[in-house]
Structure 1
Amino acid sequence: MMNVGVLGSGAREHALQWSLQQGEGMDIVFCLPGNGGTAHNINVDPSDHQAVRRACEQFDIDLLIVGPEGPLAAGLVDDFEGHRTRVFGPSRSASLLESSKIWSKEFMRQANIPTASCAAVSTVEEFVAFAVRHGDRAVLKADGLAAGKGVAVCKDREDLESAWERITTLRPASERFLAEQVLDGWELSIHVLTDGATWCLFPSSQDHKPLLNQDRGPNTGGMGAFSPVHECTPSLIDEISRDIISPTLEGLRDRSIPYCGFLYFGLMITPEGPFLLEYNVRLGDPEAQVLLPSLTSDLLPALLSCLDGDLDSHALAFDKRALASIVLASPGYPDMPEIGYPISGIEQAAETALVLHAGTTRHHGQVQTSGGRVLSVVGRGDALCDALDQAYAACEQIRFTGMHYRTDIGRRNHP
């Protein structure tokens, strides 16, 4: 029997633990540190690599699956090289695809991957000048990791200086930022599992970043997702595979950068075709909450095949039905979430939907809020409307002070 651990504490990590436990012969899947909904938690700080090593040794963990981007960017996989515990995820050098937006854009340019025009900027004057050259519209991104919140989209000149102040305040230690052309179209999330040579596609998905209905309000880590995306046709997938996925893996091999793990492609589908906005070197959150429950094959053998560089001998199988996930957030999220409120109704909601925990903890047996994004409620149905109905009905069973969620997930009208 293999001992498996999942590193992280969000709904993505709960979904990974849940998915692994569906596998044949699986018993205990540890979560480090986990949350109020995960089982077999080990209290360890994911950023303390030595503490993670000690926990793996103490609990005889054979395989550790890294959920969030922070430990990957900090080189956790590299630090475990030669250790008895195998770690699933990309190295520090491969994680530059996500951890540096500027490095990533230069990689895309050299690999001839379609992407928006951009420039590295270090002052508000440089950012405004870039926007003026592009019709007073521009996207500003923090160069490093920002938990999905280091992006501002400016649709006119009035937004530019306030966006600069907001993003530079979020990342005060950063010396450079990325200014990017605004692309018109609709967004699409594509995920693959890859050993660096072969890849397995997950179903298409789409997330909803802004806090409020109709894509208003500040950007968040994600307020919900659904899968599959009806407009993502087989011909579009072929185009994305040919023009974006294959050149990415070829570009990494050309640089002698091995890649093993999940890889996310954030895309804008424009009238001219798909353009790559960004990479994530892990499963997206909230996309993972609709992708992992769609698996009908065991996840663990695929991960082990990936680590062995033998992914071409393993295929993933998926449920054809639709899935939708609704994020329940704390008051004050994303800026200053209020936490410590008791949560009720989870058991009732779980009778009809999958409830995945994120910002929760247990205090004397009572589940309480402990973060900005608190729960992900996942519905499933033959059609997207059925999955949404199931998820929203379950959301109505749950209560905590100031609970907020979007009521328009999966209801965008694409051009």
Structure 2
Amino acid sequence: MKVLIVGGGGREHAIAWKAVQSPRVEKLYCAPGNAGIAQVAECVDIGVMDFDAQVAFAKEHGIDLVIVGPDDPLAAGAVDAFEAAGIRAFGPRKNAAILEGSKAFSKDLMKKYNIPTAGYETFDSPEKALAYIEHAPMPIVLKADGLALGKGVLICNTREEAKDGVKTLMLDKQFGSAGDRIVVEEFMTGREVSVLSFVDGKTIKIMTSAQDHKRAKDGDQGLNTGGMGTFSPSPFYTEEVDSFCRNYIYQPTVDAMRAEGREFQGIIFFGLMLTEQGPKVLEYNARFGDPETQVVLPRMKNDIMDVFEACVDGTLDQVELEFEDNAAVCVVLASAGYPEHYEKGYKMTGFENFKDKDGYYVFHAGSKFDAEGNIVTNGGRVLGVTAKGATLKEARENAYKATEWIEFGNKYMRHDIGKAIDEA
């Protein structure tokens, strides 16, 4: 089969790497891709939001299945555009991608269907939000309603911070129209766990757990980022937690979307908080997490094309997901200064060190070829270095060892990814 992946980040590199292992894939394209994806797929210079060009390309090249990676095109109706042209696509339609596309929608859905989550209020008016904050208990969480590259969540410890946060989101429009409406949420404490799942509209199959590190600096300091590293599985995601989530969170979410006439086909990523009162939903994403995908897919035994097709065909109940009984850790190599100001265009070396090394991977997020054909940095998050091990500690040791194999001018990383492993 001929396959097109839409996207150009570390998540899409991991998906492409997994897809080419399938004997069923005869040709793989990626739009727009990056310098790493170019090693496993033919990259096509079409932007992720250019649906017309994507559809035209898919028709012209006889594409059998399209896999849409990022949140923006999904929320804007990429899957609908392909389906309207008679092309099979993996991912939620626009009316289902709202699960991630609107925080207010997802909170209202959870409230209506009794899915455990933090208490909240939604505001369209900054004045009303500020008035509410005057009397709300601190700390408090402010969330932009719309998509904000994973950075639209502000944790405010004081009223002053909360007021500044309302100003940032609603008046200064730091995330544009995503902040026209905000959700103000009670602050939950506990362990955070991410759980990825495949969904075909009715059936949900859970992959494995992972834990992300959102803050830019060691010790969970600094600004929120798209994610600086992750590990899988989470030692805190016990059988007891799993069984609770299956009964009260996972299947109920899929059923709720169906009941609302928004049947969900694709990936649901559950961001969970393990509180003293039990697991609660922090957020939903309607696609593979980044960098969670870079630790989950290397541990997956299935032919991923079989699973993608089962989701599109509505036959996921016939698939059993299988994962290796091991662990993986991913450390993101970023450009110094990310997520604020950083320079691009630094030459990277050392990729040959990963050749023929079983259990070591380098997934490209922000990379491209320069005029001379060198691989250079082209983003805030540049690479994800993933390593497997028999245990989480071994995987972490291997991942940090492998970060030394790659060099570039403004290389920056956190040195405490997986610190929580020692607390388990």
Q: TM-score, normalised by structure 2?
A: 0.94
Match of 1:171 among 167, 171, 175: 175
1:409 aligns with 2:414: no
* CA deviation after TM superposition for structure 1 residue 126, in Å: 3.7
Paired AA for residue 162 in structure 1: D
Instruction: Show the counterpart of 2:106.
Output: 104
| CA spacing shift, 1:366–1:138, aligned 2, 3 Å | same
1:242 aligns with 2:247: yes
User: Which ranges in structure 1 are unaligned for 5 or more consecutive residues?
Assistant: none
Instruction: Show the counterpart of 1:64.
Output: 66
- Is contact 2:130–2:166 with CA below 8 Å preserved after alignment? no
- Is contact 1:302–1:315 with CA below 8 Å preserved after alignment? no
Paired AA for residue 70 in structure 1: D
Match of 2:348 among 321, 343, 346: 343
Instruction: Show the counterpart of 1:11.
Output: 10
Instruction: Show the counterpart of 2:362.
Output: 355
1:298 aligns with 2:303: yes
1:373 aligns with 2:378: no
Instruction: Show the counterpart of 2:209.
Output: 204
- CA distance in 1: counterparts of 2:354 and 2:85, whole angstroms: 41
- CA distance in 2: counterparts of 1:56 and 1:26, whole angstroms: 15
User: Which ranges in structure 2 are unaligned for 5 or more consecutive residues?
Assistant: none
Instruction: Show the counterpart of 1:394.
Output: 402
Corresponding residue SS for 2:345: coil
Aligned-residue RMSD, C-alpha = 1.6
* CA deviation after TM superposition for structure 1 residue 124, in Å: 4.9
Instruction: Show the counterpart of 1:80.
Output: 82
Corresponding residue SS for 1:93: helix
Q: Deviations over 1:157-208 (max 9, x none)?
A: 3422333344343223342111111001110101110112111111111101
- CA distance in 2: counterparts of 1:175 and 1:22, whole angstroms: 43
Paired AA for residue 162 in structure 2: L
- CA distance in 2: counterparts of 1:350 and 1:186, whole angstroms: 36
- CA distance in 1: counterparts of 2:59 and 2:283, whole angstroms: 36
* CA deviation after TM superposition for structure 1 residue 331, in Å: 2.1
- Is contact 1:8–1:34 with CA below 8 Å preserved after alignment? yes
Paired AA for residue 236 in structure 2: E
Corresponding residue SS for 1:95: helix
- Is contact 2:204–2:254 with CA below 8 Å preserved after alignment? no
* CA deviation after TM superposition for structure 1 residue 325, in Å: 0.5
Q: Mapping of 1:5-404 within 5 angstroms?
A: 5-39=4-38, 40-168=42-170, 169-173=173-177, 174-350=179-355, 352=357, 353-363=360-370, 364-404=372-412
Q: Deviations over 1:255-298 (max 9, x none)?
A: 12121101011111100001111110001111010111111110
Corresponding residue SS for 1:333: coil
Identity %: 40
- Is contact 1:77–1:90 with CA below 8 Å preserved after alignment? yes
Corresponding residue SS for 1:16: helix
- CA distance in 1: counterparts of 2:374 and 2:295, whole angstroms: 27
Q: Deviations over 1:125-147 (max 9, x none)?
A: 54444445442211111110001
- CA distance in 2: counterparts of 1:145 and 1:209, whole angstroms: 16
- Is contact 2:204–2:251 with CA below 8 Å preserved after alignment? no
* CA deviation after TM superposition for structure 1 residue 85, in Å: 2.2
Paired AA for residue 269 in structure 1: L
Paired AA for residue 383 in structure 1: T
| CA spacing shift, 1:280–1:187, aligned 2, 3 Å | same
- CA distance in 2: counterparts of 1:287 and 1:67, whole angstroms: 13
Q: Deviations over 1:280-325 (max 9, x none)?
A: 0001111010111111110101111111111111112111110010
- CA distance in 1: counterparts of 2:416 and 2:128, whole angstroms: 37
- CA distance in 1: counterparts of 2:334 and 2:356, whole angstroms: 21
- Is contact 1:350–1:394 with CA below 8 Å preserved after alignment? no
- CA distance in 2: counterparts of 1:397 and 1:126, whole angstroms: 52
* CA deviation after TM superposition for structure 1 residue 82, in Å: 4.0
Corresponding residue SS for 1:94: helix
- CA distance in 2: counterparts of 1:60 and 1:121, whole angstroms: 46
* CA deviation after TM superposition for structure 1 residue 349, in Å: 4.2
- CA distance in 1: counterparts of 2:423 and 2:118, whole angstroms: 20
Corresponding residue SS for 1:340: coil
Q: Deviations over 1:86-113 (max 9, x none)?
A: 1110010101110011111111110111
- Is contact 2:133–2:163 with CA below 8 Å preserved after alignment? no
Q: Deviations over 1:344-372 (max 9, x none)?
A: 11222455420000100011210001111
Q: TM-score, normalised by structure 1?
A: 0.96
Corresponding residue SS for 2:283: strand
